[in-house]
Every structure is written in structure tokens, then in C-alpha cells.
Amino acid sequence: MKLEEATRLSGETLLSFLEEMLLIRRFEEKVEERFRAGDLSGFLHVALGQEAVAVGVCRTLETDDVIASTHRAHHHCLAKGMTANALMAELYGKVEGCSGGYGGSMHLYDLANGNLGANAVVGGGLPGIVGAALAFKMRRQPRVAVAFFGDGATNTGSFHESLNLGQLWTVPAVFVCENNHYAESTPSRDHMPIADLTRRAEAFGMRSIVVDGQDVEAVHAAATEAVAHARAGNGPVFLLANTYRLTGHYVGDPQVYRPKGEQRDLRATQDPIPRLRELLGVDEDSWSALETKVAATVEASVEFAKNGTDRLPEDALLNVYA
Amino acid sequence: MPEITYREAVRDCLAEAMRSDPDVFLMGEDIAEMGGSMGVTHGLVDEFGKERVRNTPISEAAIAGAGVGAAIQGMRPVVEIMYQDFITLSMEQIVLQAAKHRYMSGGQIKVPLTVRTQGGAGWSPGAQHAEQLEGWLCHVPGLKVAFPSTPEDARGLLWSSIYDDNTVVFFEHRTLYPIKAEVSDTLEPIEFGKARVHREGSDVTIVAIGRLVHVALRVAEQAAEEGISVEIVDPRTLLPLDEDSIVNSVMKTNRCVVTHEAVTRMGFGAEIAAIVQEKAFDYLDAPIERVGSRFTPIPFAPVMEEYVIPHEEDLMAAVKRTVARG
């Protein structure tokens, strides 16, 4: 590998990114499989194609930096330090799950690793991130709060109120927009009167950075800059990562709204994983070793989850109040 | 014992909490130099500065949500929603975020947020500045709801709200701000879920909240002149609710009238009536009466507003009907 010459990150680091992205990919595919097999309840949104955004951003963060995620959260959770076991066990509704079986796919929490929760309300996590960042600022802690959200969320009042307040109070927050070009089924052109989302941040005087969300190295570089800006007390940054959802909105989505062939074309041209593999020049042997390792982790998580402890029905009455 | 207004009681509590604890801070519209639209936070910015008495944009979702986020980090924010009508703009953050983070996280997260708000009719602001929405919040598992009616209770319950590890929505009534009453020399926290019996009596129990506690006290005086002995129970916190005190009182008086300023239909009084009939059915000598606002938005013209909201004569009539059934 002659990567060190071309990039600021070492080949070793990028290889670890590749492994993490592949773990997310295989984890998500397993989730689809177990859902179709009838193992999993509820409503599942997988992040196939968006792995590089989660890994590139979260690998710039310290453990005590915090994130808020969205309904599509598995990639953020794994990238912010949650184990595959804890995540899969949650999807199975077990005591050992990251939310003890109280949350499910759209409510994944891992406070110890700075994960303040997936959020099933589009835009719902943003005001809380402003508040977390405000707390860091008031306590003079050098910590950063990061909100993940999609292009669809930029149409919510919460988005606009949060960016306005965050910028007004120069809190150490980074607003990461995973622009996957669809709000559920509605393409951007049908839900936004502008094409350039950075204009929304600029309206608040907020610094914006745009990045190719399928290039993990670029995401990492952009996030490093954004996080440093926020951590230094210069206020929030709007980080626009253009990405693609290589699957439906939810597991089972027939995607009738997609132009014919779009998904196939995106998988061929916009998949961040083969792209990084190619960049790193990972040969067949190394690749299959990586696949084997990742598959073992994913399989182990399914076993762990299946063997986990079931909740008692009346456990539903716990944890309502502190 | 000093005598202070309800407004001063709230302010004194906020000041004392901020003096003793750097994690307590305030956010809200116009709360700094202006002292809030009701003057409750008047002067606090002078003592604590603009970092801790934070004027916000008119952004109710962000105000509540920033409170949620800071609270999860262990601070004890007190946010002010200027009028409770506007809490509708914060409801997503209060109902879907603040109330549920703890549960959805399997108990990992605490949200020690206090949301102060005020409102109430009687001054003709019209339909968007005078509603009583406490019933909405009481319908949400994970929230606590306080509605003090006296300076002592406002001060002590607010302290307990700030130091509760759950989100508390704290209702103040606009028309109560100027009322004055004696308070204890030092701030005494008041435990949630403990009703106050304002007056003991033997013929009928009035369960009253907010402004209607004071209406009930006047009605009890009149009723006494007519030989009717009224007991007044003020739950003070609606969630949790001191069911025992209410039920025990009704078991003694055998009659119950519930009153609040919110519309009667689906109001908090409906829950009280349900609890009383479940737990004291055999003790009841008369149907439980409910006295609240008529089922309309609050109208502007004073003559119509007067007609819609409950007054002494409405409560008195309900008391008399109830007693007559014995």
C-alpha cells in the first residue's frame, strides 16, 4: 500500500475504517435477513450506503463527546462505540440490549459512549444537542455535541430553531446532515425549494462544510475540521455529507418511488466500501479474512441476542420515572 | 413569618436555587432585563448575569429542547414558556423527548428539567393567551405536573421540581401572582404527591386546583353561613396525585365537587371523579359534580369570557346541588 503518501491518515487507520464500515454493512444485511425471517419486531431502517458518514464523523470524536442520532441509527451507534451484541440484543428486545429492550431500533442509547439516543422524530434530536453543547460551554468542558439528521429534517422547525439558537449562543455543536436525497420516499426536489442545503446554515451565519459522504477519508477530514472549530469555541458547524441510501427507507420498502435502475446504479457507483477497498488495494485474501472476521462478529451478535434474557411483561412498568 | 406574593415566591425559589447551585440556570423569552412577561424573573439577571438568566429567541421547541439536552448532561435548567398556550409549540420536546428518554433508554438517562409556564383567563386576552392545559400534560407517562395555588406551595414545590430527576411541568396562574400570604422563614421543599387540605369540613369535599382553590375558599365561607360544611383539598401536584387524601376526604364527607379553570370535558376533574367513584363508590351520597370552563375557546369580549370560565356562583350552585341530594 502506498497510501501514506496520498493521505493524511495511515493505511492502518483507513483499514480499521474499512473494517468498521464492513461490520456495519454486514450487520445491516443480517438485520434485514432476521427481520424477513420473522425474528425481529417493529420498524427497521438500515443504513446501507451511509456507513462512511457515521465512521468518518464518529472516529473524530472522543468518548465523552456526544451524538444524537435518527430513526436510521445502527451505523451511528456502532461507530460511536456500541457493541454489535448490545445493538442486536436490543433489536431482539432483550434485557442485554443497549436500551434494555425498552427502545428498539429507533431508540438506541449508549450513555457511557456518549450516545444520547436514536430518535424517531425527524429533527427531534437537534434541540437537545444544542442543550448538551450549551451545558459543555457553561461548564467550560472541551466537549462537542453532534447531531446527525437527514435532508428531510432540514424542513422541520426544530432544525431552524436549533441552528439559530446554537449559532446565537456559539455552542460547541456540529450539525451533520446526511443528505441521502430522499425524505422517506420523497426526493429532495419535491421537498425543498433549494438545491444547496448549506444556504440554510448560512442563513444563520453558520459555517458550512460540504463533503462527499461516500469517501470516508474526506468525511473524516471534514469532520475533524468541524469538530475542531466547535471545540475551540468558535461555534457550530453545518457539515453537509452527500450520501446515498442503497436500499429502501425501511426494511420491506418496495421503493415504488425510485426511478427504475437507480438503486442498481447507485450500488455500482456510490458504494463507499468497494471504493475504500480499492483505494487501499486490499487483495482477495485480505478481503476474505476481513469478511470472515466481520461475519463472526455479526453471527456472534445474533447468538448473543437469541440467548439473551427476555423481559417480563410487567417490566413495562419500570423506568417510567427516575 | 414573612408575607410574600406568589410572584415573589417563585422568584425567591429561583434565586435561592441559583445561589446554591451552579447547575441551575434559566432560559426563556424576555426573562432577563424585562424580567419575563409577568415580571417573575425581575432582577435575577442583575445577580446572576446573562449566562445564567438566558434570554432566548421566540423558539419554544428549542427552548424546551435545549433544556432537555442540558438536563441530560446533569444541569438543572428551568425554562420558561411565556404562556402555557405556547407550550403547544414545545410539546414534541416535552412529550416525545423529555418524558420518554428515561424509558426508551431502559433507565440510563435522567432529564431533570423544569418547565415553568403560566396562564389563565379573567383578563380578556382572547383564545390564545388564556387556556389551561394542565390536563394535556397529566396524560403523559414520564412527566410530573405541579400546579401550586399559594406562595408557600409555589416556593416549596418549585424547589422540589428543580431537584426532581424527572421533567416537571410547573403551572402558575396569572391571576395568582399578586396574591400575598405568609410563608415560612426559610424555604421548605414540598414533597410531590401530597395534597393540602386548606379547610376541613364534613358535608362536601371540593377538590380544587390553581385559581379555583381561592374561589373554593370563598365559596366555603358563604356555604358555612348557610350551614354547609365544606372541606377543600388542593392536590398541588397533579402528577403524581395524592389519591388517598382525596378519597379519604370523600369517605368522610360523602360528597365531592371537582373544580378547575380548564374546560370540564376531558379535564383533570374527570380523572378525579373516576378515582373517587372507583375507590369510594359506596360512600357517595350524590353524583360527583365537575365545575370548569364551558367547552369553547376563551372568548375575548369580557361578557363572554365571564360566561365561559367558572366563578363562585357556579361552584356554590354545584355544592348546593350535591348537598341537596343527600
Whether the CB-CB separation of A14 and A279 falls below 8 Å is answered with: yes
pLDDT digits (tens, 9 = 90+) for B32-68: 999 999 999 999 999 999 999 999 999 999 999 999 9
CA distance B37 to A39: 55
Domain count, chain A: 1
Q: What residue has cell string 421533567?
A: B167
Q: Determine whether B131 is an active site residue.
A: no
> How confident is the model over A220-244, as a mean pLDDT?
98
The rounded percent of chain A whose pLDDT value lies above 70 is 98
- With CA atoms as reference, the chain A residue closest to B72 would be A132
What residues contact residue A23 under an 8 Å CB cut-off, 6+ apart?
A78, A84, A294, A297, A298
Return the percent helix, strand and coil in chain B, to nearest 5: 40, 20, 40
CA distance B196 to B242: 9
Report the alpha-carbon angle B94-B95-B101, nearest 5.
85
| pLDDT value, residue B326 | 63
Give a yes or no: residue B235 inside a domain: yes
Return the axis-axis angle of helices B60-72 and A126-138, rounded to nearest 10°. Answer: 60
Give a yes or no: residue B289 inside a domain: yes
B8, B80, B101, B129: the active-site residue = B129
> How confident is the model over A62-90, as a mean pLDDT?
98
Is the domain of B77 the same as that of B37?
Answer: yes
Look at residues B156, B182, B208 and tell me which one is the last residue of a structural domain: B182
Whether the CB-CB separation of B235 and B207 falls below 8 Å is answered with: yes
- Residue A73: closest CA among A108, A112, A42: A108
Is the domain of B239 the same as that of B130?
Answer: no
pLDDT digits (tens, 9 = 90+) for A256-305: 999 999 999 999 999 999 999 999 999 999 999 999 999 999 999 999 99
> How confident is the model over A117-130, as a mean pLDDT?
97
What residues contact residue A215 under an 8 Å CB cut-off, 6+ apart?
A52, A272, A275
How near does any CA of chain A get to the CA of B84, in Å?
19
Give a yes or no: residue A314 inside a domain: no
What residues contact residue A206 under an 8 Å CB cut-off, 6+ apart?
A163, A166, A167, A175, A235, A236, A237, A238
CA distances from A74 to A14, A51, A228, A299 (A): 21, 9, 25, 16
Give a yes or no: residue B246 inside a domain: yes
Look at residues B143, B158, B182 and tell me which one is the last residue of a structural domain: B182
CA distance B214 to B272: 19
In B78-137, the residues whose Cβ lies within 8 Å of chain A are 92-93, 96-97, 101-110, 112
How many CB contacts within 8 angstroms connect chain A with chain B? 142
Strand-strand pairing, B76-81 and A207-212: unpaired
Q: Is the pLDDT of residue A38 over 60?
A: yes
The CATH number of residue A113's host domain is 3.40.50.970
Q: Could you tell me where the DSSP H helices lie in chain A?
A: 3-6, 11-36, 51-58, 74-79, 84-91, 126-138, 157-168, 188-191, 198-202, 216-231, 262-269, 272-280, 284-306
The CATH number of residue B289's host domain is 3.40.50.920
Give a yes or no: residue B191 inside a domain: no
> How confident is the model over B119-131, as a mean pLDDT?
95
How near does any CA of chain B get to the CA of A304, in Å?
19
| pLDDT value, residue A15 | 97
Contact B73 A165 (CB under 8 A): no
> How confident is the model over B177-203, as a mean pLDDT?
97
Between residues A3 and B61, which one has the greater pLDDT? B61
Looking at every residue in chain B, the average pLDDT score rounds to 97
Q: Is the pLDDT of residue A5 over 60?
A: no
Q: Is the pLDDT of residue A7 over 90?
A: no
| pLDDT value, residue A62 | 97
- Give the H/E segment covering residue A174: strand A173-179
Looking at every residue in chain A, the average pLDDT score rounds to 96
pLDDT digits (tens, 9 = 90+) for B263-283: 999 999 999 999 999 999 999
Q: Is the pLDDT of residue A40 over 70?
A: yes
Q: For the CA atoms of B119, B125, B128, B129, what is the dihedral angle to 10 degrees?
A: -20
Look at residues B152, B182, B212 and tell me which one is the last residue of a structural domain: B182
Domain count, chain B: 2
- Residue B116: closest CA among B86, B151, B75: B86
Least confident of A107-111, A158-162, A245-249: A245-249
Whether the CB-CB separation of A165 and B56 falls below 8 Å is answered with: yes
Phi-psi region of B35 (alpha: psi -120 to 50; beta: other; left: phi over 0): left
> How confident is the model over B1-28, as a mean pLDDT?
97
- Residue B199: closest CA among B185, B176, B215, B182: B215
A165 touches chain B (CB under 8 A): yes
Is the domain of B308 the same as that of B268?
Answer: yes
Output the nine-digit C-alpha cell for B186: 426559610
E-strand ranges in chain B read 3-5, 24-28, 53-55, 76-81, 114-119, 143-146, 167-173, 180-182, 196-199, 204-208, 230-234, 237-239, 256-263, 289-293
Is the domain of B18 the same as that of B83?
Answer: yes
Q: Is the pLDDT of residue B122 over 70?
A: yes
pLDDT digits (tens, 9 = 90+) for B91-107: 999 999 999 999 999 99
CA distance A185 to A259: 11
Q: Is the pLDDT of residue A8 over 80?
A: no
Residue type, A74: H
Is the domain of B128 the same as that of B203?
Answer: no
CA distance A45 to A53: 16
The CATH number of residue B158's host domain is 3.40.50.970
| pLDDT value, residue B241 | 98
Number of Cβ within 10 Å of residue A284's Cβ equals 7
Give a yes or no: residue A320 inside a domain: no
- With CA atoms as reference, the chain A residue closest to B58 would be A161
Contact B104 A127 (CB under 8 A): no
Contact A138 B102 (CB under 8 A): no
Is the domain of B34 the same as that of B174?
Answer: yes
- With CA atoms as reference, the chain B residue closest to A109 would be B105
Range of the domain at B37: 3-182
Is the domain of B177 the same as that of B264?
Answer: no
Give a yes or no: residue A321 inside a domain: no
Q: Is the pLDDT of residue A1 over 50?
A: no
Is the domain of B165 the same as that of B203?
Answer: no
| pLDDT value, residue B130 | 95
B49 touches chain A (CB under 8 A): no
Q: Determine whether B60 is an active site residue.
A: yes
Is the domain of B171 the same as that of B205?
Answer: no
| pLDDT value, residue B151 | 98
Q: Is the pLDDT of residue A92 over 60?
A: yes
CA distance B47 to B15: 9
The SS3 of residue B237 is strand
Give a yes or no: residue A151 inside a domain: yes
How near does any CA of chain A get to the CA of B103, in Å?
5
Is the domain of B128 the same as that of B8?
Answer: yes
Give a yes or no: residue B190 inside a domain: no
Least confident of B7-11, B147-151, B322-326: B322-326
Q: Is the pLDDT of residue B216 over 80?
A: yes
Distance of CA A203 to the CA centre of its chain: 25
Q: Is the pLDDT of residue A3 over 70?
A: no
Q: Is the pLDDT of residue B192 over 50?
A: yes
- Residue B7: closest CA among B34, B35, B49, B46: B35
In B146-185, the residues whose Cβ lies within 8 Å of chain A are 164-166
CA distance B302 to B200: 34
